[in-house]
Amino acid sequence: MVQAVSPEMARAQRRDVVANGVPATLTTYFGSNWTLAGPDAPPPPGPEVLYPMAFLVEQSAETTVQTHYHAANQWQVVVGGGGSMGTHAVGPVVVHYTNAFSSYGPLRSGPEGLHYFTLRNGYDPGAQYIPAGRDRLRQVKRRFREAKQVAGAPCTQPGAEVLIPMAEDGMGALRFRLAAGESVTGPDPSTGLGQFWVVTAGSLAAEGAALPRLSLLFVRPEESAFTATAGAEGLEVLALQYPRDPAHI
């Protein structure tokens, strides 16, 4: 069953944090942080387990998060504010992919802060910062992909746009822009290892409700291809698929 979380549903999981010395607000949409669990909590999922994790990070203004890496494959989607990722300027909407154990950054926010979704299909115990965490980097295939797209009002006609072409292992990103009431079916989930769908404008009609901007959906590989239907305001939505064979397992 496709899992869907709206910003309103996630609001209860919104909290202030300090990461790498940088103040931020973190809203959890999917997954759990085992570092906050009690001593009687079961062990976290292993790297072979499909475990969606999704956070909306609101990084404070004029701050820098050092270059780092994670233990799971990751999509990031910039949805607010502005700044830079490495040497590239970023703002809404930028899509960025990084393989597990591939370092990226630093993330620098501008005067309005930098707001982005961090989306993973496996458990990650936390960022490993460079240079301190360099000795833990594994000899895995490193991969970085970035697609810069300016968000706008949903189109008056259905349209699909390839942001990052689908690779042989299933990794890729699409953007769909639909008029009110129009529908589109995404890629076959069995060709990858999970898909996140990100509503970036308008709303997505689902089971009698309208999922607004900044809603997330996760489609598992065994699911049928997901069909998105635009709400009354039209819809702009991203479909982000992970590779079938994660190199870090």
**C-alpha to C-alpha distances, 249 to 10, 29, 76, 93, 140, nearest whole angstrom:** 30, 25, 21, 31, 10
Same-domain check for residues 165 and 124: no
Q: Which parts of the chain have pLDDT scores under 70? A: 34-38, 132-146, 148-158, 248-249
How many domains are there within the chain? Answer: 2
Q: Based on the domain organization, do 101 and 130 belong to the same domain?
A: yes
Same domain? For 101 and 177 the reply is: no
Task: Tell me whether the omega of the peptide bond preceding residue 93 falls within 30 degrees of 0, making it cis.
Answer: yes
Write down the pLDDT at residue 247. 72
Contact 200, 150 (CB under 8 A): no
pLDDT value of position 46: 86
Q: Which amino acid is at 245?
A: D
Between CA 13 and CA 19, with CA 15 as vertex, the angle to 5 degrees is 125
Domain boundary among 113, 147, 181: 147
For the entire predicted model, the pTM comes to 0.91
pLDDT at 109: 96
14: containing domain: 3-147
> Where a domain ends, among 100, 130, 147?
147
Asked whether residue 246 is assigned to any structural domain, the reply reads no
Residues 105 and 67 in one domain: yes
Residues 130 and 161 in one domain: no
Quick one: 23 and 8 in the same domain? yes
Query: Is 220 found in the same domain as 111?
Result: no
Is residue 96 in a domain?
yes
> Residue 75: which of 28, 122, 16 has the closest Cα?
122
User: Does 26 reside within a domain?
Assistant: yes
Residue 138 makes CB contacts below 8 A (sequence gap 6+) with: 101, 248
Q: How far is CA 149 from CA 29, 95, 96, 146, in A?
A: 23, 8, 11, 10
| Closest C-alpha to 242, from 123, 119, 147 | 119
Residues 83 and 46 in one domain: yes
Residue 132 three-state SS: coil
Does 138 fall in a domain?
Answer: yes
Same domain membership, residue 185 and residue 63? no
pLDDT at 36: 59
135-139, Cβ contacts within 8 angstroms, sequence gap of 24 or more = 137/69, 137/101, 137/103, 138/101, 138/248
**Longest C-alpha distance within the chain, in Å?**
54
Q: What is the pLDDT of residue 156?
A: 46
Among 147, 174, 209, identify where a domain stops.
147
Tokens, residue 212: 């607004």
Q: What are phi and psi of 176, to 5 degrees?
A: -115, 135
Give the domain CATH number at 35: 2.60.120.10
